[in-house]
Amino acid sequence: MFYDIKLTLKYKYKPAALGGRHILRLMPADIEAEQRLVAGLLEVSPRADERVDRVDFFGTQTTYTTCGGPNPALSFTLTARVNRLASIPSFDMSPPLSALGDEIRHYKGIDARAPHHFLGVSPLVPKSQAVADYARGIVSSQMTSQEAVSRITMALNNDMKFDPDATEVDTPMDEAFENRHGVCQDFSHIMICCLRSLGIPAGYVSGFLRTVPPPGKPRLEGADAMHAWVQAWCGFEAGWVEFDPTNATLVGQDHIVIGRGRDYSDVAPIKGIFRAAGSQETSQAVDVIPLL
């Protein structure tokens, strides 16, 4: 499936901001046998005084910018064409959950996809006894590893309420879990914590999600979304599998990958600092348009 993607992030400052520095992770990934980046352009306005593009440890395209100012407004615009390849259906070849630890120990590499990076705590996914107890109440050691991941996906989707007004980007995972509501970031962090507590390596995936308007309704420009879901390592035969707990589904052609990491802090779309003494207005628009 080919997609044309456009993302615009706009910031207005009053009075003008000075000395802005930003880290951007917005470009769709180019992944062999999974997703092809046909073309992509990331524009910064006003033009950055300095710009460096590189790939980080986990393989995410990362752009560093510096804008001196004064800048009353700042915008980042991504345009890209992506071919998201169809997943090949496969049988569950993952080991029983009780045997997964042996397979992890036999993985000798420390490359970016090594499961060892995704087992312990990370900046936004601490240990949580409450989450661990919840996970243990859902699965058993006799389940396959992939079945356990699927059960956690479905349970969280059933027990959590999607509420875009319930949390902020810095809301602690435990708070979102206690209140049983949040957005895709919260669903994903809680699921990662569940899986790690069971000994399943798990990480965070940032990307775009194509949305389909209700029957008879027009597609609204700019109404698509950035999204987050979960990757889990289920042994040598199954490898990494990806599930979307917000939508209770395996990840498919509607999910377009930007980057993967341990949690949101590794793949945040934008991080930045600037000097300002007044107000800030922010707006975002995303279009994910299928072509074929």
Residue-level pLDDT, tens digit, the chain, 292 residues:
999 999 999 999 998 988 889 999 999 999 999 999 999 999 999 999 999 999 999 999 999 999 887 889 999 999 999 999 987 767 899 999 999 999 999 999 999 999 999 999 999 999 999 999 999 999 998 999 999 999 999 999 999 999 999 999 999 999 999 999 999 999 999 999 999 999 999 999 999 998 876 676 666 565 688 999 999 999 999 999 999 999 999 999 999 999 999 999 999 999 988 888 888 899 999 999 999 6
Domain presence at residue 109: yes
Same domain assignment for residues 149 and 226 = yes
Q: For residues 286 and 247, state if they share a domain.
A: no
Predicted structure pTM score? 0.94
Considering the domain architecture, whether residues 51 and 115 belong to the same structural domain is answered as no
State the DSSP H helix or E strand holding residue 186, giving kind and residue range, or none if neither.
Answer: helix 184-197
Amino acid letter, 254? D
Q: Are residues 110 and 243 in the same domain?
A: yes
80 and 106 in a single domain? The answer is no
Q: What is the CATH number of the domain that holds 48?
A: 2.60.40.2250
Same domain, 153 and 112: yes
Query: Token digits for 84?
Result: 């998201």
Q: Tell whether 160 and 181 lie within a shared domain.
A: yes
Task: Record the tokens describing residue 224, joined without a space.
Answer: 């698509």
- Angle, CA of 152, 156 and 160, to the nearest 5°: 170
Judge whether 49 and 28 are in contact, CB under 8 Å: no
Same domain, 225 and 142: yes
CB 189 within 8 A of CB 182: no
Question: Does residue 92 lie within any of the structural domains?
Answer: no
Rounded alpha-carbon distances, angstroms, from residue 184 to 26, 77, 188, 232: 17, 23, 6, 16
Domain hosting 196: range is 97-266
Same-domain pairing of 141 and 162: yes
The token pair at 179 is: 């209140």
Per-residue b/e over 134-145, b at no fewer than 16 CB within 10 Å? Answer: bbeebbeeebbb
Do 212 and 114 lie in a common domain?
yes
**Residues 175, 123 within the same domain:** yes
Q: Does 116 lie in the same domain as 210?
A: yes
Please give the C-alpha separations between residue 159 and each of 15, 24, 178, in angstroms, as whole numbers: 44, 33, 11
The domain that contains 251 carries what CATH number? 3.10.620.30
